[in-house]
Amino acid sequence: MKTALRLFRSVLLPACLFFTVLCFVFSAILSHSDTEMTLPTINLSNLFQIFLFSLVLSASNLLFSCRRLSYPLALTLHFVCFLADISIVFFLIGGHFNSERGAFTILFVFAILYLVIAAVASTVRHFLRTDRNNKEAYKRQFN
């Protein structure tokens, strides 16, 4: 029971949050575009692909809670999982891009976007950790 509850809290709830945000973003892009016929519509297949993507991404977030992995290694593994998740779910299962060049272009854009967000998150993490270390109470080492 504890394992199921932990799995629900650490994987399924964040996956549902990712799914909701991605569906809103996808809907906003579709509603503000003029070329509705060239863009995919929201159907059950696309919703399933977005949920599968969100579930794998949420599961890969568990890498950051593993104490055996250093933060740079966890970030690198998460980056690889993110790119593999996009490639498998949207390109192989979904077949959204027929040309390899278009798929690699989209993958490159997502990789750059990931790296920018990871750089900001790592910088914020560094300053928060430094601030927390500076605020620790001073303990006398000598009498």
Helix 100-134 with 71-86: angle, nearest 10 deg: 150
What's the rounded Cα separation, in Å, for the pair 55 and 61? 10
User: Mean pLDDT score of the chain, rounded to an integer?
Assistant: 84
Q: Please state, as a whole number, how many other Cβ atoms lie within 10 Å of the Cβ of residue 47.
A: 14
Query: What per-residue confidence (pLDDT) applies to 101?
Result: 83
Number of residues that this document lists for the chain:
143
Sequence spans of domains, the chain = 2-134
pLDDT at 66 > cutoff 90: no
C-beta separation of 23 from 38 below 8 A:
no
- Per-residue confidence at 56, pLDDT binned at 50, 70, 90? very high
Query: What per-residue confidence (pLDDT) applies to 123?
Result: 94
